Amino acid sequence: MDRRDAIGRIAVIMGGTMIGAEFLLAGCKPNGPATITNLFDENHVAFMDEVADTILPDTASSPGAKAAKVGAFMAVMVRDCYETPDQDIFLKGLGKIDDAANKKFSKKFMDLDATQKTALLTDLDKEQQAYSKTKKPKDPNHYFRMMKELTLLGYFTSEVGATKALRYVPVPGRYDGCIPYKKGDKAWALS
């Protein structure tokens, strides 16, 4: 399977289209000699790790998004694969999460407990879903949708996500399109 097929399947898993997909399919091409530090610093990466880990936390059977270093993945993807307007929206979105946390809990996002973080991100997810329903093609993308998409893509294409959260067979056997499903079975990792 090539990268184009893998990204297409991940997009389907995430519910359809993906922001920045045209760059992923064409291959990420950096805009000049940018590095992560041109857009993000270590505090941004730690913040994005916390957001991602709230979206995909540790479970009994698999580690969370922080274990997969999804924050660093987001930084690289936004830097290399998003156009400048989407990069700006994403960066401003990090501040909007802190603003929303301050408004709701009078604390910064990083200072919230796990329950508060989940409640806040649930509210932001409802906001982005409502926005997406009325979004016109020329309207800007919603920052939280970008964060969710990158969280899912980063996690499920990482070694941790593919081997711990999904069923992974490094050398699969023959194709069998009719496999019995047992309640609670994990989805298959893309190989």
pTM above 0.85, yes or no: no
Residue 89 host element (H or E): helix 84-105
pLDDT band at 5 (very low <50, low <70, confident <90, very high): low
* Residue 35 confidence (pLDDT): 44
Token representation of residue 74: 């987001």
Query: For residue 136, is pLDDT > 90?
Result: yes
In b/e form, how buried is each residue of 49-76, taking b as 16+ CB within 10 angstroms?
bbbbbbbbeeeeebbbbbbbbbbbbbbb
pLDDT band at 47 (very low <50, low <70, confident <90, very high): very high
* Residue 79 confidence (pLDDT): 93
pLDDT digits (tens, 9 = 90+) for 64-88: 999 999 999 999 999 999 999 999 9
* Residue 168 confidence (pLDDT): 73
In sequence order, what DSSP letters do the residues of 113-167 get, joined into one string?
A: -HHHHHHHHHHHHHHHHHHHHH--TTSPPPHHHHHHHHHHHHHHTSHHIIIIISB
Average pLDDT over residues 152-158: 92
Query: Are the beta carbons of 96 and 143 closer than 8 angstroms?
Result: yes
Query: Are the beta carbons of 127 and 150 closer than 8 angstroms?
Result: no
Comparison of pLDDT for 160 and 54, the residue scoring more? 54
Enumerate residues 6+ apart whose C-beta is below 8 A from 17.
11
* Residue 181 confidence (pLDDT): 78
Query: For residue 98, is pLDDT > 50?
Result: yes
Query: Are the beta carbons of 146 and 93 closer than 8 angstroms?
Result: yes
pLDDT band at 32 (very low <50, low <70, confident <90, very high): very low
On the 0-12 / 13-18 / 19+ scale of CB atoms within 10 A, 142 is: buried
Query: For residue 50, is pLDDT > 70?
Result: yes
Enumerate residues 6+ apart whose C-beta is below 8 A from 148.
14, 55, 125, 128
